[in-house]
Amino acid sequence: MNEHGFASVLGLCLLLLMACLSAAVIGIAQKERVAVDGFAAGLQAQSYAESGAEKALASLDAQILKEVQSAGKPVCIMSLPTEENAPLKSCQIYLAFDGDSYVLMAVSCVADRKGQVFVHFQPTKDGLKIGKWER
Amino acid sequence: MTLLELVVALPLVAMLLAGLSTMFFLLLHSCWADISDLELQQQLRLAAVAVTQDMMYADRAKIEEDGISLWTRSQSSLPRQIVYRVRDPGGKAILTKNNQPLTGGSIYGDIRIVKFQCRKFNEKTIVLELGGRNAFTGKILVIETAAVLENKRSGGGADE
């Protein structure tokens, strides 16, 4: 092997290294893009679940509470596919009776991301006594 | 180094540098786009939280075409009005709270409000749809949430 041959091999190795680096960097950038889009969908899903939970809480009446209590298992009380956004956006709200209180669970899906909210509450004569929200 | 070597080496180095600089600027653009889209999410999330928090503590709400007015009680028990409006200074729509901007441009991005819609779900629940567009990437994000006027139980409510 002479000096000129060595320089050529070294140059090719360097080019190969640069190509690999470029591919890796482009791959990372693409993954970051997907992650940011995923965050956005996650945010939409979470706020849609909260929206669904609020709507369900506002729609609850004594009849539904009685039915859920007698069912003895979680019952789907509301489903929210909005006309213009369906099927990209959906939210199901379940209600379960847990001894002395109720647990409302809203599960939403936006694109491929899910959001969920659990709300604990107790019915009182003045309305609902909302406990903690778990997100 | 001979002239021949120089003739071969210089284009190679130039190509290498061109490739590297293209990659660098693409990456820089991509990073800024990501940061900018995250800024869009943050601004919309914080604005939605601000509106829903104020709704929760409002005695009364009035839904208007370009915003919502809320009446709450301050510490001195005097009614206080909070007005959320979409303003359009120079074609860049922003959301304001009592004329103070809640969203808008920052060093991370130029966020424009494309949707601010409140609608009554029932007597005490208001559904809020807030949408924004990142002028840098063109990304549009719309979030929907809802809030219950907790004080509605003691009077007041949502008017349209």
- pLDDT mean over B114-129: 88
Instruction: Spell out which residues of chain B touch residue A33, defining contact as CB-CB under 8 Å.
Output: 30, 33-34
Number of domains in chain B: 1
Above 70 in pLDDT, residue A87? no
Band (A84; pLDDT cuts 50, 70, 90): low
Domain that includes residue B143, residue range: 3-159
Per-residue confidence band for B114, with pLDDT thresholds at 50, 70 and 90: very high
The partner residues of B68 in beta bridges, in order of sequence, read B63, B84
What percent of chain B has pLDDT above 90? Answer: 34
- Which pLDDT value is given to residue A98? 83
Q: Which of residues 115-144 of B touch A (CB under 8 A)?
A: 121-122, 124-125, 127, 139, 141-144
pLDDT, mean over chain A: 84
Q: Is the ipTM of this complex over 0.90?
A: no
Select from B31, B41, B119, B144 the residue whose CB has the most chain A CBs within 10 Å, as the one to mutate to test that interface: B144
Cβ within 8 Å, pair B41-A40: yes
- Indicate the SS3 state at residue B145: strand
pLDDT band at B154 (very low <50, low <70, confident <90, very high): very low
The answer to whether residue A133 neighbours chain B at the CB level (below 8 Å) is: no
Axis-axis angle for helices A3-59, B3-56 (nearest 10): 10
Report the chain A residue with the minimal C-alpha distance to residue B122. A58
pLDDT at A129 over 70: yes
Token couple for B45: 């999330």
**A2 pLDDT band (50/70/90 cuts)?**
low
List of chain B residues whose C-beta atoms are within 8 Å of the C-beta of residue A32: 30-31, 34
Q: What percent of chain A has pLDDT over 90?
A: 9
Instruction: Give B39's contacts in chain A (Cβ within 8 Å).
Output: none
At B24 the three-state DSSP class reads helix
As a whole number of angstroms, the distance between CA A80 and CA A123 comes to 24
Q: pLDDT tens, A7-45?
A: 778 878 888 888 888 888 888 888 988 888 888 889 989
Indicate whether B155 pLDDT > 60: no
What is the pTM assigned to this prediction? 0.78
Q: What is the largest CA-CA distance in chain B?
A: 92
| Predicted confidence (pLDDT) at residue B122 exceeds the cutoff of 70 | yes
pLDDT in the model for residue A85: 53
Q: Which residue has the tokens 């139980």?
A: B153
Among B2, B133, B42, B146, smallest CA distance to A3 is for B2
Q: Which residues contact B103 (CB under 8 A, 6 or more apart)?
A: B43, B44, B47, B94, B95, B111, B113, B132
Q: Taking residues A63-88, what's their average pLDDT?
A: 78
Mean pLDDT over residues B30-44, rounded?
A: 92
pLDDT the model gives residue A6 = 79
Measured in whole angstroms, the distance separating CA A71 from the mean position of its chain's CA atoms is 28
A78 and A55 Cβ atoms separated by less than 8 Å: yes
Of B2-6, B35-39, B61-65, B150-154, give the lowest mean pLDDT range: B150-154
Residues A55 and B146: beta-carbon distance below 8 Å: yes
Contact B143 A43 (CB under 8 A): yes
Mean pLDDT of chain B: 85
Residue A86 above 70 pLDDT? Answer: no
Residue B109 in contact with residue B135, Cβ under 8 Å? yes
